[in-house]
Structure 1
Amino acid sequence: MSDGQDPDRGFEDVLRYLKESRGFDFTGYKRTSLMRRVRHRMNEVGIDNHVDYIDHLQVNADEFSALFNTILINVTGFFRDPDAWDHLRAEIIPTLLAERGPDDPVRVWSAGCASGEEAYSLAMAFTEALGVERFRQRVKIYATDVDEEALTHARHASYGERELQGVPPELVAKYFEPLNGRHAFRKDLRRSVIFGRNDLVQDAPISRIDLLVCRNTLMYFNQETQAKVLHRFHFALVPRGVLFLGKAEMLLSHGRIFDPIDLKRRVFRKSAGSAAGGGHFVTHAFVQDRRIDVGGLDQLRELAFSASPVAQVVVTGDDVLALANQQAETLFGLGARDVGRPLRDLDLSYRPVELRGHVEQARAERRALRVKDVEWLRTPGGSLWFEVHLNPLIASDNAVLGVSIVFHDVTAARRLLDDLEYANRQLESAYEELQSTNEELETTNEELQSTVEELETTNEELQSTNEELETMNEELQSTNDELQVINETLRERSLELDQVNEFLESILTSLRAGVIVLDVGMRVIAWNRGAEELWGVRRDEAEGEHLLDLDIGLPVADLRPVVRQALADASFLTEVKLDAINRKGREVVVRVVCSSLRSNSGEPNGAILVMEPNG
Structure 2
Amino acid sequence: MKSLIGTEVTQLNDKSTNIQPYIVGVGASAGSLEALEHLFEQVNIHSGLVYVVIQHLSPKFKSYMHELLGKKTKVGIKHIKDDMPIEIDTIYLAPPRTFINIENGKFKVQELSNDTGLTYPIDHFFSSLAKYNKEKSIAVVLSGKGNDGSSGLSYVYDTGGTVIVQTEESAKFMEMPNYAIQTGKVDHVVRPEEMASLFEQIVLDKKINFSSEGKEEETNFALEQICSLIQRKSGINFTSYKRNTILRRIEKRIQINQLPFTSLLEYKEYLISHPEEIMKLQQDLLINVTEFFRDEQAFKIIQNEVIPVLIQQKIKQNESDIRIWVAGCSTGEEAYSLAILIREYLDLNDLHFRVKIFATDLDRDAIKKASAGQYGEQVIVGISKERLERFFQNTGYNYVVKKEIREMIIFAPHNIAKDSPFVNIDLVSCRNMLIYFQADLQQKILSMFHFALRREGYMFLGPSETIGKLTDLFQPIHPKWKIFKYLDTEKQDYSNLLRTQTIRRTEKLEGTKMYTQYPEANATKQLNPIYETLLEHFVSPCMIVNENNDIVLSGGNVQRFLRMPIGNATFNVLKMVSTNLSVAIGTALKKVREEQIDIHYDHIQVFSDQKDEVVDLVVKPFKQKNESNTPLCIVFLNEVKKEKTKDPSYETKQYDLEKNVQQLISDLETEISYTKESLQTMIEELETSNEEYQSTNEELIAANEELQSSNEELQSVNEELVNVNVEHEKKIQELRDLNNDIDNLLISTNIATLFLDEQLNIKRFTPEVTKLINLLDVDIGRPLSHLSHNMDFDHLIEEAKDVLQSHQKKEHYIESNEGRWYRLRLHPYRTKENFIHGVVITFLDVTEMKMMNEALKMKSFALEQSPASIMMVDEDGLIDYVNHTYEKYVKMDRIDLLGQSIFNLYESEIARETLQEAWEVVKQGKRWDGTSMFVTDGSEKWEQVTFMPIVNESFELKRFLRVAEDITEKRNTEDLLRKSEMLSALGEMAAGIAHEIRNPLTALKGFLQLMQAEDKGDQQYLGIMANEFNRIELIINELLVLARPHAVRFERHDIMSILKDVIMLLDTQAIMNNIELVGHFPERITYIECVDKELKQVFINIIRNAIEAMPNGGKIHIKAEVEQEKITLQFCDQGKGIPEDRLKKIGEPFYTTKEKGTGLGMMVSYKIIESHKGLMKFDSEVNVGTVVTVSLPITQ
Using the size of structure 2 for normalisation, the TM-score is 0.24
Using the size of structure 1 for normalisation, the TM-score is 0.45
